[in-house]
Structure 1
Amino acid sequence: MTELFLDKFRALVPAYFDDQWSAEDGLSKEELQDLMEGQDFDLPLALRDFYLAVGAVEDIMEAYHFFWDPDELTIEDGHLLFLEDEEEKYTWGIRVDQLDVPDPIIWRRNNARGTWKSEEGTFSEYVLDMFEWVFEEDAVEE
């Protein structure tokens, strides 16, 4: 299986934590497989690579928004939910009919209204942009 997005996500560690990436920062393929046991869907390649690259870095998994652990992923409203904001006003997901796309478009649900809106960016674009925004904002506040 290809590792198309791994290097991009691994680069988050040295970019924002002044440390080199190490294997302990990500989930192993076996850990991810164990956590996905019982799920009746496959992860898009970009989301899979995200967990393999940085799925064990708490400062990334819980940076401003909260990425769900693989065993917490769920399907609602025709979307695979994977991320929510700290106030639980919004949840992000991937349309179920796009799970076979390597880097699918991300959608955001307004939880109060139950309405979905496209973020008009792929998973990798959205995640990389989000961390740039979160960590640059943190640097400005210091």
Structure 2
Amino acid sequence: MSDMFVEKFRGLVPLYLEEPWQEADGITWEDLDEVFAELKLTVPLALREFLHALGNCEDLMEAYYYFWDPEELEVEDGYLLFLEDEDETYTWGMLADQADVPDPLVWRRNNATGEWINEEGTFSEFVFDMFDWVFNEVLAED
């Protein structure tokens, strides 16, 4: 399996947490395969690599917004859901029928209205932009 984003995702640990990435920060391919097979889910490569690189790194997985653990991933309204805000006002996902696209576009649902809005970026772009915003703007305000 080629790793398109694994090293870039791992690089978020030293960038934002100022410590080296460790094996324990991620989830093994085997564990991910087992969970996704049990859930009968096809997960795009970028999300799989994100979870492989950072799935156990709570300081990033729960930095302002909450990335779902692999066993919590689900398809709803035709979207594979992977993230929500702390107030559960918004949920982020990607079109489930695009699971074969390595780095699909991210969509955001307003949970009160059920309306989905295109975030205008791929999963990897969204992740890097979100962490930049959280660590350089949101947490800097605190």
TM-score tier by shorter-chain length is over 0.9
Query: 1-side partners of 2:35 and 2:62: how far apart?
Result: 18
For residues 28 and 128 of structure 1, what CA distance do their matches in structure 2 show? 22
- 1:76 aligned partner: 76
CA distance in 2, matches of 1:139, 1:115: 29
Instruction: Please name the residue that 1:63 is paired with.
Output: 63
Counterparts of 2:41 and 2:126 in 1: how far apart (Å)?
A: 22
Corresponding residue for residue 35 of structure 2: 35
User: In the TM superposition, what is the alpha-carbon distance from 1:139 to its structure 2 partner?
Assistant: 5.1
CA RMSD of aligned residues (A): 1.2
Give the TM-score of the pair, scaled to structure 2. Answer: 0.95
| Runs of 5+ consecutive residues of structure 1 not aligned to the other structure | none
Q: Report the 3-state secondary structure (helix = DSSP H, G, I; strand = E; otherwise coil) of the residue aligned with 1:113.
A: coil
Q: Which residue of 2 aligns with 1:4?
A: 4
1:115 pairs with 2:120: no
TM-score by length of 1: 0.95
Q: Which amino acid aligns with 1:130?
A: M
Q: Which residue of 1 aligns with 2:90?
A: 90
Q: Cα–Cα, structure 1 residues 88 and 25, in superposed 2: closer, same or farther, change >3 Å?
A: same
2:91 counterpart SS class: strand
- Secondary structure of 1:38's counterpart equals helix
3-state SS of paired residue (1:59): helix
Q: Identity across aligned pairs (percent)? A: 56
- Structure 2: distance between partners of 1:32 and 1:63: 22
> For 1:140 and 1:86, how far apart are their aligned partners in 2?
18
Please list the CA deviations of residues 81-138 of structure 1 after superposition, one character each: whole Å capped at 9, or x if unmatched: 0000000000000101211100000000000000100000000000010001101125
Sort the Cα spacing of 1:28 and 1:16 in 2 relative to 1 into closer, same or farther, 3 A.
same
Count of matched residue pairs: 142
Answer with 11-20 or 130-139: which moved more.
Answer: 130-139
Counterpart for residue 103 of structure 2: 103
